[in-house]
Amino acid sequence: MTTSEFGAAMRRWRDRLEPGDAGLPAGERRRAPGLRREELALLAGISVDYITRLEQGRASNPSAQVVEALARALRLSGTERAHLFQLANLALPDPDLVPRRITASVQRVLDRLTGTPVAVYDATWQLLLANPQHAALVGDQSGLVGVQRNGVWRHFLGAAPHARRTPEALAAYETALVTDLRTAAARYPADRQLQELITTLHTGSARFAEIWDSGAVGRRDAAPKIIDHPLVGPVTLDCDILTVTGSDLRIMIYTAEPGTEDAERLALITVLGTQTLTG
């Protein structure tokens, strides 16, 4: 298959998908049907420039992660997804690897949680999807690639987190992150990307190595989280995590107690933040 065939398929599927079908506002009247490249980029977590180069046949050899993200954003059926992988000269993901496909049922849930900050992670805390409200709350991560999109890597080796935690809560949180990776490694021993992540963390972070080598285990419980937001200051939110049976996907949802000042701040964040992202 050629890169032009891959790009043509992308354009064809993009043209048939209306913004409302993808959980986006319709906005002003459009000259042409379908999603804009900017909208597809937002949904897939891929840069607009890369979307353009793929569609024009100027980019070759997209990774399996990119193809999977495009298949999800374009709402492809199972047969269409398999065809897109074929056009990219890639095999479908091995079932013994960490599942990274957002299923249709999960996508429906996300589409119905409009206005609520939501993100989806795999079993290793690799970010698969974040809606605009989530980006407005914790920062736009669409430009991050590879291991930079992993929440465990970002905590131990990346930028400082936005959330405030007591020393006790921080220790419990870190233990839970390491436990999740240990569990995933036992469940998906053939996943080379996961093994490389663990090696990188163990080598680069003394704190990660300490917890890993101790054999400590913990559980990440839902709890209020204080996020220091650059526009409105600290906001206290409930952070709930739903695990999808059969795929190990984690859906992270941020909400505020209705009628509180935190709820007003969250509403302001989603309005101002999404305007900045789309402006």
DSSP string, 207-219: HHHHHHHHT----
> 206-236 pLDDT, tens per residue?
999 999 999 988 887 777 899 999 889 999 9
Tokens found for residue 176 = 């839970």
CA dihedral 10, 16, 21, 23 (to 10 degrees): 40
Amino acid sitting at position 84: L
What mean pLDDT do residues 176-202 have?
A: 94
Tokens found for residue 123 = 């079993």
Tokens found for residue 87 = 């056009």
Inter-CA distances, 250 with 5, 138, 208, 223, Å: 34, 17, 21, 15
Tokens found for residue 114 = 């409009």
Helix, coil or strand: residue 260: coil
Cα 139-177-251 angle, rounded to 5 deg: 55
Q: What is the structure's pLDDT at 154?
A: 95
> 78-121 pLDDT, tens per residue?
889 889 999 999 988 777 789 888 877 788 888 888 889 999 99
Residue 181 has pLDDT above 70, yes or no: yes
Q: How many whole angstroms separate alpha carbon 148 and alpha carbon 159?
A: 10
Beta strands in 106-264 (DSSP E): 118-121, 127-130, 163-164, 223-229, 233-244, 249-255
Q: Are 169 and 226 in contact (CB under 8 A)?
A: no
**DSSP letter string, 3-29:** HHHHHHHHHHHHHH--GGGGT----S-
Q: How many whole angstroms separate alpha carbon 217 and alpha carbon 265?
A: 35
Percent of all residues in the chain with a pLDDT value above 70, rounded to a whole number? 92
The Cα diameter of the chain in Å comes to: 60
Phi (first) and psi of residue 46, to 5 degrees: -125, 150
**What structural domains and CATH numbers belong to the chain?**
3-87 (1.10.260.40), 104-278 (3.30.450.180)
Radius of gyration of the chain (CA): 19
pTM exceeds 0.85, yes or no: no
Among the residue ranges 34-38, 123-127, 200-204, 272-276, the one predicted with the least confidence is: 272-276
